Amino acid sequence: MKHLFLAIFFTINTFFAWSQQKQPKLVVGIVVDQMRYDYLTRFWDKYSEDGFKKLANIGFNCKQTHFNYMPTYTAPGHASIYSGTTPANHGIIANTWYDKIAKTNVYCTSDENVLSVGTTTNMGKMSPSKMLVTNFADELKTANKQAKVIGISIKDRGAILPAGHQADAAYWFAGEEEGKWISSTYYMQTLPKWLEAFNKKNSANTYLQQPWETLLPIAEYAESIADNNPYEEVFEGEKAPIFPHNLPALRKANKNYDLIKSTPFGNTILKELALEVIQQEQLGADAITDLLAISFSSPDYIGHQFGPYSVEIEDTYLRLDREIAELLTFLEKQVGEGNFLVFLTADHGVADIPQHAIDNKIPAGYFEEKATLQAVNKALFEKFKVENLVENLSNYQLFFNHELIKEHQLNLIDVENVAVNFMLQQKGISKAVSATSMKSAEFDSKILANVQRGFHQVRSGDVLFVLASGWINKWTKKGTTHGSPYNYDTHVPLLWYGTNIKQGKKTEQVAIADIAATLSVMLHIALPSACDGKAIEELVK
């Protein structure tokens, strides 16, 4: 009886202490587009004390955080971080995917039912309508309608998907001849006066009037390969991908304001917007927790073009470190030290440039989608005497023409099996599995389980396949991409800092879905509707 009494007493005291915990006035979610975990460690000695190091040394570092699905792309990444689940549930299966009903490609945030705000182009016709579940931002707004939720990013999908369905605002960058921040009638009818004034300052133009030179003397970039190498894409108008990059001379050939996306100054203008949003919208000014979702997109553009071992990517992260430091210093002054909670993670990693890997004796290669589509259709014709049974190959999936299968009274499983066996015979493919298997079996091996968690029964294709480690879809032998279930694409940083966060680290594996679960428990609000993540115990106990 005595032990029972003590247990009840302990439970009540624990609950009381937990319920009385100080709540953050502002949550700032930072997603860095295409940040591999090793960028945190590889460039560590060159980081300042007030940016990444501050988050890791004073805050809490989850060292083994992974995406547990494929394809590891930007849109699924942002949707998964904030919804606490995977594409199998939230439905954002790629940035753009093949719509089996409409028989056309659809973009993850496109919405013909809304209009652009702040631009006469169609760049603002966007909303979160294709995301099928709630996310942390939605639950925060549901818990208290007075909470402010705002998403910002160079990319529309980086602003919209984290901010959820009930956001007060989402802002993204219109490049080309625009060079300003825009939105959609999903959120508002006109831009706020402060943003119109901010756009008139046109800081993007200021940064494009100067060359991109290295932050440090180039000889100090020992963590990167030689600046002049055969693996990197050049800007239009450049003869070699080397520093300095003459931005004023390159603007016209590189779609004017679009050029800033592929420089570290894309991060700078986003940081400037973040500071302005916090100040003008008075985020964190009262006891009701607000949310600012920030997604730094420029590292993704730069990483695709120059690769993970380039001087350009190292310089980008050294500069981003200083942007993060300035943001943290501003938050401490504006919101107050201990009054805000920051988490920083990434939406995916990136593969090495295959030719660079090959030249260094690492397995890698290039996969040709167009040739494979023709070949698989030829193999299916030889078996079933029906042409073009596969109507689309994209996002590591084959989509069948089901009207043809029905018209010719073919057995779907037979067609699947022939296609699966054919794909397994192709160089550069390590695994292939049918949609029927995805629906009827539960896979427990890491790779196939990742495929399954990326498979949406309504939106995904009929056969799914995985490229071999180091392989990417071929469009050129320069530059690289991401999307695989391998560690170079799944392993990302996860740093926590601020309200109620004690210094520490966790080396056991954390799934990306655990972020939303942890935030929900911290703020005592409902879990997002399909959240299957687990709260990180060290952060919530």
Percent helix, strand and coil across the chain, each to the nearest 5? 40, 15, 45
R_g of the chain, CA atoms, integer Å: 24
The total of structural domains in the chain comes to 2
Do 350 and 377 belong to one domain? no
The CATH number assigned to the domain holding 431 equals 3.30.1360.150
Q: What pLDDT, in 10s, does the model give residues 247-258?
A: 999 999 999 999
Q: What is the pLDDT of residues 240-285, one digit of tens each?
A: 999 999 999 999 999 999 999 999 999 999 999 999 999 999 999 9
Separation between Cα atoms, residue 109 and residue 161, nearest integer Å: 8
H or E element at residue 194: helix 193-201
Q: How many other CB atoms are found less than 10 A from the CB of residue 311?
A: 22
- For the annotated catalytic residues, the residue numbers are 74
Task: Indicate whether 18 pLDDT > 50.
Answer: no
Q: Does residue 488 lie in a domain region?
A: no
Residues 85 and 126 in one domain: yes
Residues 326 and 456 in one domain: no
Residue 482 lies in a domain: no
pLDDT interval class at 102 (50, 70, 90): very high
Q: Where are the beta strands (DSSP E) in 423-525?
A: 429-434, 463-467, 471-473, 491-492, 494-498, 504-506, 510-511
Q: How far apart are CA 52 and CA 389, in angstroms?
A: 50
Same domain, 348 and 387: no
Looking at the domain assignment, is residue 448 inside a domain? yes
Residues 158 and 98 in one domain: yes
On whether both 440 and 458 belong to a single domain, the answer is yes
Per-residue pLDDT, 20: 59
For residues 127 and 194, membership in a common domain is answered with: yes
What the block records as the tokens of 93 is: 């299966």
> Which helix (H) or strand (E) segment is 341 a member of?
strand 340-346
**Within-domain flag for 236:** yes
Burial label, 453 (beta-carbon count in 10 A; 0-12, 13-18, 19+): buried
- Mean pLDDT, residues 144-167 taken together: 98
Structural domain includes residue 476:
no
Which percentage of the chain shows pLDDT scores above 90? 95
Distances (CA, A) of 191 to 118, 150, 156, 180, 188: 6, 13, 16, 11, 7
Last residue of a domain, one of 419, 452, 468: 468
Residues of the domain holding 85: 23-61+68-357+495-540
| pLDDT, tens only, 341-398 | 999 999 999 999 999 999 999 999 999 999 999 999 999 999 999 999 999 999 999 9
Same domain assignment for residues 515 and 462: no
Please check whether residues 425 and 506 belong to one and the same domain. no
Name 127's Cβ contacts closer than 8 Å, sequence gap at least 6: 109, 111, 113, 114, 160, 184, 186
In a domain, 2, yes or no: no
